[in-house]
Chain A
Amino acid sequence: QVQLVQSGAEVKKPGASVKVSCKASGYTITGYYMHWVRQAPGQGLEWMGWIDPNNGGTNYAQKFQGRVTMTRDTSISTAYMELSRLRSDDTAVYYCARDLEVVTATLPDIWGQGTMVTVSS
């Protein structure tokens, strides 16, 4: 079955970077766009962007332009999201989510379990 398994919780200091991984199984990673969505404690969902694992193309939310980098390693079916210059308000659960449709960008469908990133001095 399709599954996305994310890396474990992280604690970072302000100004540092964090890189979260998302390993896909049960399907070919290059067939579906991968979205990243975050959720601050007690807050709503915030879309960060997507990556096309087939060619590495990306589309980032305006808010994260210049601070986020989404990449992938197709040889190990893994997508990555790196966020730099961390601030306390970046404390959140970060989710990867596979797109609903094959080879096109639509919306997140199948989600990983989430990775808690805490930014604290």
Chain B
Amino acid sequence: EIVLTQSPGTLSLSPGEGATLSCRASQSISNNYLAWYQQKPGQAPRLLIYGASNRATGIPDRFSGSGSGTDFTLTISRLEPEDFAVYYCQQYGSSRITFGQGTRLEIK
């Protein structure tokens, strides 16, 4: 099973700032099949990025993903108030999907 480790656990920033979230895999992810989800309290997760760098339908271009192999990054430029949430990375390159433990992005 591929283990995903996200850092930091919590990120405190102000609206308008940029955010960088990291996801490291225990082994190389096939085809860079790495996704990012956003989850707000009481809501289901929302797919943001798939294939490491492809934005899902309707996702603003302030969200971008990068990386390959074992190291991946989600970047949010110019944080909006609605961006404060928990973010999960997920790999789907192996037959069994796994998620990271999440990064909480909170308002400073």
Q: Considering only CB atoms and an 8 Å cut-off, how many residues of chain A contact the other chain?
A: 20
- CB-CB contacts below 8 Å: A40-87 with B: 44-47, 59, 61-62
Which residue of the partner chain B has the closest CB to A108? Answer: B47
Determine if A111 and B45 form an interchain contact, defined as CB atoms under 8 angstroms apart: yes
Give A95 to B97 CA distance when docked, in angstroms.
Answer: 15
Q: Considering only CB atoms and an 8 Å cut-off, how many residues of chain B contact the other chain?
A: 22
Is B35 positioned at the interface, with any CB of A under 8 Å from its CB? Answer: yes
Determine if B95 and A59 form an interchain contact, defined as CB atoms under 8 angstroms apart: yes
Determine if B44 and A114 form an interchain contact, defined as CB atoms under 8 angstroms apart: yes
User: What is the CB-to-nearest-CB distance from B46 to chain A, in angstroms, rounded to a whole number?
Assistant: 8
Give A111 to B35 CA distance when docked, in angstroms.
Answer: 15
Determine if B47 and A95 form an interchain contact, defined as CB atoms under 8 angstroms apart: no
Give A114 to B102 CA distance when docked, in angstroms.
Answer: 19
Contacts of B92 in A (CB 8 A): 106-107
Contacts of B95 in A (CB 8 A): 59
Q: A62-B1, A106-B33, A106-B92 in contact; A45/B47 too (CB < 8 A)?
A: no
Q: A107-B50, A108-B47, A113-B44 in contact; A47/B96 too (CB < 8 A)?
A: yes
On A, residues with C-beta under 8 Å from B are 35, 37, 44-47, 59, 61-62, 95, 97, 100, 106-109, 111-114
6 other contacts beyond A47-B97, A95-B45, A108-B45, with CB at 8 A cut-off? A107-B90, A107-B92, A108-B47, A108-B97, A111-B46, A113-B44
